[in-house]
Structure 1
Amino acid sequence: MRLLAVLICLIGTPIAAQTPAEAAKSAMRQLEEATARLDAADTARDRVRALTEAVQAFETGLAAMRDGLRAASIRETELRRDLDARDAEVTRLLAALSALGNTAGPKSFVHPDGPIGAARAGLLMASVTPALSDAAADLRADVEEASVLRQLQQDAANTLQSGLANVQAARAQLSQAMADRTDLPRKFTEDPVKTALLIAATETLDGFAAGLSQISENETDLDLPATRNRKGTLPLPVAGEILRRAGETDAAGVTRPGVLIATRPRALVTTPTAATIRYRGPLLDYGLVSILEPEPDILFVFAGLDTVFGETGEVLPEGSPVGLMGGPEGSPDDIQSPSGERAGEALSETLYIEVRLGDTPEDPLGWFTDDKGRTE
């Protein structure tokens, strides 16, 4: 009976599927595909778009790698602890299996009480033997899974190092490609004196937005795809998580009509639709800002950037890079850390998004879907 109790303890817990390992391996493949995209960008006709897609692919792959490796590390720790806690049961199991031998079966056991006792013993062993085999298989699977997870984490180090180096290179190449770009149409020419006067004369974003039309010269009519009829379906400009919604008060007691998105350091921000750059640069207490106009009387305000792309008056195609978030580039240790001590670094940057229709701010989440607002 004591042996049966041990067996129940051994086989009572089901083996978890190797989802963490599969997720980490999938992330490694994503990083390899992103590297191929970066290599192909050199010969692409639209190099800016190719580099944008490469950066986004690296960001997705690195986020998936972070989640996969963290889950793999946690799973491996659980398995190691479980195996350590089951030392006594493992010892008893090995002793029982050794006693049975390789070819043991019910007929191998002779009971001193004669045929009836032997029959009963045979029936007992007929039920015990499969349980012993199942327990041994479960144990072997746990040991093998722990070994696979450990090896996976070791193998991921080179892939991580390469992925981080390549995404840094891709961002640098993208910044240079945007600086060198000369094929963007221009809707107007900015008057820097009027821009400086407008900034000096306004104390709020409302006032600045209302005076944006004053800073332009030689404005032309350009037909851009309609944005109003896409309301509610536009992708968020950056991957992250919604930290604060429109109308919510922050820790300083300030309430703003936009949303705050927590992003990873150096995350790429793109325009959700074709739009004219109405302003780019520092503004009030919003930090570095890019204000886009997809069509007359609609403004998208992106604030909190570390780098901005394009020039005021240029028209960006849909999906074009607008800028980069700030923060450190990151390291393999940040991604591989299984505990929460580095969690603050994962989504440490914040992008403020405001949408204005005429002179009135609107809830940005009424314009954007939140599919891109969750990290992979």
Structure 2
Amino acid sequence: MRRAAILLALCLAGPLAAQTPGDAATQAADRLRAARAQLDAAAGARDRVAALTETVRAYEDGLVALRDGLRRVAIRRDTLQVQLDARQEEISQLLGVLASIGKAPAPLLLLNPAGPLGTVRSGLLVADVAPALQTKADSLRGQLQELALLQSLQETAADTLRDGLQGAQTARAALSAAVADRTDLPQRYTEDAVQTALLLASTDTLAAFADALAGSVDVAAPELVAEGDLPLPVRGTVLRAFDAPDAAGIARPGVVIAARPRALVTTPVAATLLFRGPLLDYGNVVILEPAQDVLFVIGGLAEVYGEAGQVLPAGAPLGLLGGDSPDVDAILTDPAPGSAVAATQTLYLEVRDGQSPVNPGTWFALD
């Protein structure tokens, strides 16, 4: 009977319903390809810094989305594999029934020793069994197709990841070069290197340095109202709240933000760059003055951009966090998908208003 052949074919063919994990990974790959197009277009952009900043952001978003998509693909693949393993006996019985039906000639399937009435009953039984077999075959077909698609996505993910990581690195390097060559920013004042060096040598706390620096520069900054809606300088999550002690019991009047390696740090709002460079044990520090007597102190950068005295627009690049992005093999072979790209870097954010620290939550959307 041809029904057995048809059902067996359905197990291996037919349209596949849309699956969320596969769609997520595919859409993430599309975002990385779009970021590559942005990188190519940025070379001829009028404002290369802004264009490259958006490109770096696009690569960061695309890589995060792809990693998350691969994590979901791996989870879904493992779930399907467990389900199929648990259905081995059921699958064997289904294939056995289909095989036995396929070997029997079609007329014999309906013949019954009880005569015409028995033959009719036999036909009704076959009509009842066939939809159930069809449903089981359809279910098996869908799972097999989905598993094959997920495995194919994982196999092609290496090239997509490799291109994305290389593109992000290229975009960051191009952004660094573009910032170094930039000459179109307004300059509120010119830094006195000697005075800054003396301030660095004479202060032993970040607060003292920030306050002394602000007092030594007469800058007419615009007014700005604290509404708690400014974006964080880096895309991440608050790891330690304002004035909360760390593992050593030391409390600092700021928040610590956890972010991914090599994440881009930008200005939350238009501000004057008062200082950029290494300071005490905070790593590279950037001090911004967005409004009169208000300072944003951002510490923990590995690379810093810009020059003191420049007026930076909102979203301007300030630098990059440290750390090394994991390579393709580390991402694909990590036993806990996603953990290799965890937020392992931290950024310190402190807000000072009138020479006193205030909770950054009054200015920034910490949630």
TM-score greater than 0.5 by the shorter chain: yes
Q: Which residue of 2 aligns with 1:359?
A: 355
Letter in 2 for 1:39: D
2:224 aligns with one of 224, 227, 230 = 227
2:314 and 2:77 map into 1 onto residues whose CA distance is 43
191 and 99 in structure 1: CA distance in 2 versus 1, 3 angstrom threshold: same
Please show how residues 129-278 of structure 1 align to structure 2 within 5 Å. Answer: 129-216=130-217, 219=218, 221=220, 224=222, 226-228=223-225, 231-278=227-274
* Paired residues of 1:268 and 1:321 also in contact (CA < 8 A): yes
Report the Cα offset of residue 28 of structure 1: 0.4
* Greater Cα offset, 335-344 or 309-318: 335-344
Q: 1:155 to 1:311 in 2, by over 3 A?
A: same
Structure 1 CA distance for aligned equivalents of residues 337 and 137 of structure 2: 37
**SS at structure 1 position matched to 2:324:** coil
CA distance in 1, matches of 2:127, 2:27: 43
Q: Show the counterpart of 1:305.
A: 301
Structure 2 unaligned runs (5+)?
Answer: 1-15
1:103 to 1:275, Cα distance in 2 relative to 1, 3 A = farther
Alpha-carbon separation, structure 2, partners of 1:342 and 1:49: 30
Q: 1:360 to 1:109 in 2, by over 3 A?
A: farther
Deviations 1:61-117 (A, max 9, x none): 000000001211221122223222322211101111223349999x94455556676
Q: How many residues align?
A: 352
**Can you list the C-alpha shifts for 1:45-74, whole angstroms capped at 9, x where unaligned?**
000000000000000000000000121122
Pair 1:113–1:358, CA change in 2 (3 A): farther
Structure 2 equivalent of residue 94 of structure 1: 95
Report how far residue 336 of structure 1 moved: 2.6
Residue of structure 2 equivalent to 1:37? 38
How far off its partner does 1:126 sit? 3.7
Q: Which residue does 1:72 correspond to in 2?
A: 73
| CA shift in 2, pair 1:100/1:115, >3 Å | same
* Per-residue deviation, 1:233: 1.7
Distance 1:200 1:240 in 2: 33
Contact 1:309 1:322 in 2 (8 A): yes
C-alpha separation between the residues in 2 aligned to 1:344 and 1:151?
A: 22
* Residue matched to 2:291: 295
Kept in 2: contact 1:274–1:317 (CA 8 A): yes
Shifted more, 281-290 versus 60-69: the winner is 281-290
Partner of 1:7: none
Deviation string, structure 1 residues 198-228 (Cα, Å, up to 9, x no partner): 2222222221222113443xx5546x4x431
Change (3 A) 1:213 1:360: closer
* Deviation readout 1:219-245 (Å, 9 max, x if unpaired): 5546x4x4315x222111111222111
Tell me how far 1:370 sits from its aligned partner: 4.3
Q: For residues 116-159 of structure 1, give each alpha carbon's deviation from its aligned partner in whole angstroms, at most 9, with x where no partner exists.
A: 76666555444432121111111111111111111111222222
**Which stretch shows the higher mean deviation, 141-150 or 111-120?**
111-120
Q: Identify if the C-alpha distance between structure 1 residues 29 and 44 changes in structure 2 by more than 3 Å, giving closer, same or farther.
A: same
Q: CA RMSD in A?
A: 2.6
Name the CA distance, whole Å, in 2 between partners of 1:34 and 1:22: 18
1:53 aligned partner: 54
Bigger shift: 286-295 or 183-192? 183-192
Secondary structure, counterpart of 2:154 in structure 1: helix
Closer/same/farther in 2, CA of residues 362 and 127 from structure 1, 3 Å limit: farther
* Local SS of the residue matching 1:285: coil
Aligned partners of 1:104 and 1:244: how far apart in 2? 74
CA distance in 1, matches of 2:141, 2:334: 25
TM-score, scaled relative to structure 1: 0.86
Letter in structure 1 aligned against 2:198: L
Give structure 1 stretches of 5+ with no counterpart: 1-14, 372-376
Q: Indicate conservation of the 8 Å contact 1:281/1:308, yes or no.
A: yes
Distance 2:212 2:83 in 1: 66
- After superposition, the Cα gap between the structure-2 partners of 1:313 and 1:103, relative to the gap in structure 1 and judged at 3 Å, is farther
Paired residue type of 2:288: L
Structure 2 contact 74–337 (Cα < 8 Å) conserved: no
- Residues in 1 aligned to 2:174 and 2:204: alpha-carbon distance in whole angstroms: 37
Distance 1:324 1:343, change over 3 A: same
1:11 alignment partner in structure 2: none
Residues 74, 338 of structure 1: 8 Å contact kept: no
